[in-house]
Amino acid sequence: MPSSSRSAKDFFAPLAVGAPAPVREVPARPSRAIHFFDPSNEKMAAKIPQMVGTVDVLLGNLEDAVKADNKLAAREGLVRIGRDTDGLGGPGGTTQLWTRINSLDSPWALDDLTTLVPAIGHRLDVIMVPKVQGAEDIHYVDRLLAQLEARAGLERPILVHAILETARGVANVEEICGASPRMQGLSLGPADLAADRRMKTTRVGGGHPGYLVRQDPPTSADGAADVGADRTTYQQDLWHYTIARMVDACAMHGIYPYYGPFGDIADVVACEDQFRNAFLLGCVGTWSLHPKQIAIANKVFSPSVEDIRHARRVVAAMGDGTGAVMLDGKMEDDASLKQCLVLVDLAEELAAIDPELKKQYDAIEEG
């Protein structure tokens, strides 16, 4: 039952006369990297046509990281890119087109929506809404989009993605995910969330060396603890709790969780680690802020050849999918089969859009 003020009977009814019917199921389109660009930055914008086909999602960012003086230029730049770029966005697009609008309390959000939907609504796959606090923010966007879609004569609804970047948003995460059939997914917004929570970090995503646990002290023969001895410390993940909550809320509502930004562009190693943690916990993708993060995201959010080889062996060994078998000394049963099927299904979806990956998965030998 969706956590919405609408009754179950009305949940899938269009919110404006003439608006397209809401989707019953959010399409599982590969979105390993959501690549951010500033449409008001001419150098970046010029690179977009050649990036089509090299990344799953291109996102024209209108919010933070776009200078206040450039807000209008960014919106207009995105309209031009959406209109003129072959293969970008819409049902036939090889790369999805998303945007991040300005926050709903800003002077720009209303014009972002009323400009973009009539101009390039047929190309826009997903609108990312920042700083979502609760279901009321999604309800506002939901109704407005329905009105704009009806007026523009759009044939399919634009989906909505919320950034979780306030404490209230995290507290309301389940109701946000279930607020509308338009909800496509959630991203973590670690920078704004840290500020809102009064965390004492100054970074965009990633860990912190001060957030750690330390090995117990060695004890002497008389049982006294030597707290001054050298002891190994283990850095902990600041974002584990929030990502885990997001994953559960998204899974409960049939939508998709994503990591978010990793601001240390030079540290490609820690970036890969952070993305992998999110992948293992259940996220389907992440953000890319710089072209070099696209390859990292594509690698991490595609199951490895080794994982697919093992998953296929389990599927084959399990026959009709019930009971228990031994494989390489380990017990496999109905539940491990289900995990393997998650990987096998994902590999099929990715192979359908990524010929290089298809080649690698096709080359896996049976047995």
Ligand X SMILES: CC(=O)SCCNC(=O)CCNC(=O)[C@H](O)C(C)(C)COP(=O)(O)OP(=O)(O)OC[C@H]1O[C@@H](n2cnc3c(N)ncnc32)[C@H](O)[C@@H]1OP(=O)(O)O
Give the span between the Cα atoms of 10 and 28, in whole angstroms.
Answer: 24
Give CA 291 to chain center in angstroms: 17
End-to-end CA distance of the chain, in Å?
43
Residue 347 engages ligand PYR in binding (rule: CB under 6 A):
no
Sites for Mg ion among residues 153-172 (CB under 5 A)? 165
Do 319 and 327 contact (CB within 8 A), yes or no?
Answer: no
For ligand PYR, which residue of 189, 206, 207, 303 counts as binding (CB under 6 A)? 189
Residue 260 engages ligand PYR in binding (rule: CB under 6 A):
yes
Using the 8-state DSSP alphabet, how is residue 166 labeled? S
Do 259 and 188 contact (CB within 8 A), yes or no?
Answer: yes
Residue 149 or residue 192: which is nearer to ligand PYR going by CB?
A: 192
Helix (H) / strand (E) containing 300: helix 292-300
Q: CB of 77: closest distance to Mg ion in angstroms?
A: 20
Pattern 32-61, ligand X, x by CB under 6 A: ----xxx----xx--x-------------x
Residue 169 or residue 207: which is nearer to Mg ion going by CB?
A: 169
Q: What is the CA radius of gyration of the chain?
A: 22
- Report the residue closest to ligand X, judged by CB: 65
Residue 191 engages ligand X in binding (rule: CB under 6 A):
yes
For ligand X, which residue of 265, 270, 305, 325 counts as binding (CB under 6 A)? 265
Give CA 85 to chain center in angstroms: 23
Pattern 64-83, ligand PYR, x by CB under 6 A: x-------------------
Give CA 297 to chain center in angstroms: 11
| Residue 36 binding partner per list ligand X, Mg ion, ligand PYR, none, with a CB distance cut-off of 5 to 8 Å that depends on partner kind | ligand X
The pairing of strands 96-100 and 57-61 is parallel
Do 81 and 35 contact (CB within 8 A), yes or no?
Answer: no
Q: Count other Cβ atoms within 10 Å, centred on residue 25.
A: 7
Number of residues forming the site for ligand X (CB under 6 A): 16
Pattern 92-111, ligand PYR, x by CB under 6 A: --------------------
- Is 354 marked within a binding site? no
Cα 294-297-298 angle, rounded to 5 deg: 85
Give the span between the Cα atoms of 113 and 119, in whole angstroms.
Answer: 10
- Is 86 marked within a binding site? no
Sites for Mg ion among residues 177-196 (CB under 5 A)? 189, 192
- Is 192 marked within a binding site? yes
Of 18, 35, 10, residue with least CA distance to 292: 35
Q: CB of 117: closest distance to ligand X in angstroms?
A: 22
Q: CB of 58: closest distance to ligand X in angstroms?
A: 9
Q: Which residues bind ligand PYR (CB under 6 A)?
A: 64, 130, 163, 165, 189-192, 204, 260-261
Which chain residues interact with ligand X by CB under 6 A?
36-38, 43-44, 47, 61, 64-65, 191, 204, 261, 265, 289-291
